[in-house]
């Protein structure tokens, strides 16, 4: 098991890890060191265990904030997914209606109100034609 030497808050620590985990351990140590440096800059020298505790708590606070942000983004994605699914349903419905209309072909029937109106116009035209013929003849 490899032993890695890391530095946090100006102090060196030896830490054992699994083979291949060294880069992750160094990255985590850099994060802790960043927080420890902030704490030491504000408070000054303190025992290593207290420095590590404070740095860990600051990282935990940042992690909790990020988890809240992730949850909010996941909720937003779910809402957008629902909106998208609804829009896709409406689009599919419209596509089905268009296909049905195309299959049905053009309408050759006129509604009753149009045919009734046309019949009335034809009757009037015939009456006028009869009247004109009677005047001529």
Quick check: 137 pLDDT over 70? Answer: no
Is there a contact between 32 and 51 (Cβ–Cβ < 8 Å)?
Answer: no
Is there a contact between 62 and 38 (Cβ–Cβ < 8 Å)?
Answer: no
pLDDT, tens digit (0-9, with 9 covering 90-100), for 50-105: 999 999 999 999 999 999 999 999 999 999 999 999 999 999 999 999 999 888 87
**Mean pLDDT across the chain:** 92
Q: How confident is the model at residue 109 (pLDDT cuts 50, 70, 90)?
A: confident
- Which H or E element spans position 3? strand 3-8
3-state secondary structure of 1: coil
Reading the block at residue 109, the tokens are 């029937």
Buried (b) or exposed (e) across 93-111, using 16+ Cβ within 10 A?
eeeeeeeeeeeeeeeeeee
Could you tell me the pTM of the whole model? 0.58
């Amino acid at each position: 098991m490899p032993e890695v030497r890391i530095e946090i808050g100006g102090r060196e620590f030896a830490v054992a890890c699994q083979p291949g985990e060294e880069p992750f351990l160094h990255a985590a140590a850099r994060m802790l060191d960043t927080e420890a440096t902030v704490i030491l800059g504000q408070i000054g020298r303190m025992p290593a265990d207290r420095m590590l505790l404070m740095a860990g708590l600051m990282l935990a606070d940042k992690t909790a904030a990020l988890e809240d942000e992730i949850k909010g983004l996941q909720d937003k994605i779910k809402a957008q997914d629902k909106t998208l699914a609804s829009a896709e349903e409406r689009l599919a419905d419209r596509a089905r209606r268009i296909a049905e209309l195309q299959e049905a072909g053009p309408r050759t029937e006129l509604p009753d109100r149009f045919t009734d109106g046309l019949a009335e116009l034809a009757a009037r035209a015939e009456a006028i034609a009869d009247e004109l013929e009677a005047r001529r003849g």
